[in-house]
Amino acid sequence: MAELCCAGLSFRTAPLDVRERMALSVEDQDRLMDQLRAGGLEAVVLCTCNRAEIYAAGPGADEALEAVREAICERGGEQARSHLYGHRGEAAALHLFRVCCSLDSMVLGEAQIFGQVKEAYERALAAGAAGGELSRACQAAFACAKRARTETGIGRAATSMASAAVDLARRIFGDLAGRPALVVGAGEIGELAARHLGQARCKVLIANRTLERAQALAEQVGAAARPFEELHALLVAVDLVVCSTASPTPLFTRESVAPAMKARRYRPLLLVDLAVPRDVAPGVHGSAEGVYAYDVDDIQQVIAENVSARAAEAVKAEQIVSEEVARWVRARAVRDGVPVLALLRQRAEQIARAEAERTLQNLPELSDKQRRSVEAMGIAIVNKLLHGPTAKLRALDPSGAPSPLAGAAAELFGLEGEAPPKAAGGKS
């Protein structure tokens, strides 16, 4: 039966220059999968900026792992070898599940990695490189990741400047849908802020010193551009302002915000300043009823709180991963057939012993020899009853696959929820 293994390198084990060499193009990844498939392995290639990993499944775990390592070193050079890690069996599944749940990510709980693994799996599926074993492992890992996201808060708190700004706005306004927001500055941070605000369904306006840049960004993110000269007039109309310009002097001061607040009849106004030097003067926060202004240091503080909250949630997510890996191991054992036999025998012997013990409690006058005979009788009945099923379940079909009766036996005797037998696996 095919066994799961994985090898690769990540930001935890390899420096950036090594990871850069493993930044494979989609075509390279396809070629790599073809090469492994030709060697009789199922394979999924995962390449992100923080990790390059190959998940494979083949008849011999050690051989498969070695083939995968060699394939990586062919691309990444001999220098990559010393940064490689490898897992097989249950340990490989645990690694895959943790990666999908973003427990092994640089930013704990970030959502991107789940999509990246899913994309890698779909590419392998399209290329015919992902077979039954790898598909089952990936599907189980995806289900685990979804469960971790739903049942824990690992992905809930924002950990980037732009998303933390949007989170902050939610703490003041609640739902942001339809709320007018102004992004001042059309640089990289402005773009990210505009995208996050757009995702929160805000009505986004973009103002920039160069109107053309504002228009270009507005077109990209589905917002509207406004001339920079209207900046202070816009304060009356919008509820949220995110600034990220390179202006050497503040764009908003107490004096410029005060008339706008009066005109807005003191409706709350949130100014998030992501620029250094600051676009919002220090005295603006709380200068009038309803004015809230936060700078980069404040946002960093929010992010730090969120990161520690995510770390607390990660403990719960790790528990979910353990449960899901155990479930995957159990399902695999059931498919494997022989462990089904072991589980069946274990269950039957437990029943026989319990019944013998109960009978013996009512017969205190029996001698030790007689007691042992009663116990032996119980086990003998189990052996005779299970002789036929044992022979059938041990009979492999000519292709070497386990008996198709294994799954039926597990279902019939309700063995799928039993404690998993010890599975082969470990880190190498």
Of 5, 6, 49, 243, the catalytic one is: 49
Going residue by residue from 214 to 253, which x/- string records binding to other proteins, judged by CB under 8 A? ----------------------------------------
- Binding-site member from 70, 212, 230, 289 for other proteins (CB under 8 A): 289
Residues 6+ apart with CB under 8 A from 413: 344, 347
* Interaction residues for other proteins, span 111-170 (CB under 8 A): 151, 153, 157, 170
How far is 42 from 32, CA to CA, in rounded Å? Answer: 11
Radius of gyration of the chain (CA): 30
φ/ψ of residue 43, rounded to 5: -150, 140
Q: Residue count at the site for other proteins (CB under 8 A)?
A: 23
- Answer whether 68's CB lies under 8 Å from 54's CB: yes
Cβ 160 to other proteins shortest distance, Å: 16
Which range of residues in 114-122, 127-135, 230-238, 294-302 is near other proteins by CB under 8 A? 294-302
Cβ 240 to other proteins shortest distance, Å: 12
Q: Does position 286 bind other proteins by CB under 8 A?
A: yes
- Binding-site member from 27, 265, 404, 419 for other proteins (CB under 8 A): 265
Q: Report how far apart, in Å, the C-alpha atoms of 136 and of each of 42, 57, 102, 237, 418 are.
A: 12, 11, 19, 53, 20
Q: Does position 364 bind other proteins by CB under 8 A?
A: no
Alpha helices in 77-160, H assignment, sequence order: 78-81, 90-100, 112-126, 132-151
Residues 6+ apart with CB under 8 A from 242: 162, 165, 181, 182, 183, 184, 190, 193, 197, 272, 274
Cβ 268 to other proteins shortest distance, Å: 6
Q: Does position 255 bind other proteins by CB under 8 A?
A: no
Q: Report how far apart, in Å, the C-alpha atoms of 184 and of each of 188, 250, 257, 269 are.
A: 12, 12, 15, 15
Instruction: For residue 104, give both structure tokens.
Output: 């092994």
Which range of residues in 109-117, 192-200, 291-299, 388-396 is near other proteins by CB under 8 A? 291-299
* Interaction residues for other proteins, span 161-200 (CB under 8 A): 170-174
Q: Does position 328 bind other proteins by CB under 8 A?
A: no
Give the DSSP H/E element, type plus range, for residue 272: strand 269-273
How far is 117 from 54, CA to CA, in rounded Å? Answer: 11
Q: How are strands ordered across the β-sheet holding 180-184?
A: 224-227, 203-208, 180-184, 240-243, 269-273, 291-294
Active site residue 49: yes
Toward other proteins, which CB reaches closer, 107 or 172?
172
Q: Give the DSSP letter string of 163-219.
A: HHHHHHHHHHHS--TT-EEEEE--SHHHHHHHHHHHHTT-EEEEEESSHHHHHHHHH
- Binding-site member from 184, 292, 339, 409 for other proteins (CB under 8 A): 292
Cβ 127 to other proteins shortest distance, Å: 40
Cβ 47 to other proteins shortest distance, Å: 35
Cβ 289 to other proteins shortest distance, Å: 6
Q: Does position 272 bind other proteins by CB under 8 A?
A: no
Q: Does position 323 bind other proteins by CB under 8 A?
A: no
* Interaction residues for other proteins, span 46-75 (CB under 8 A): none
Active site residues: 49
Binding residues for other proteins, rule: CB under 8 A, are 151, 153, 157, 170-174, 265-268, 285-286, 289-290, 292, 294, 298, 301-302, 305, 309
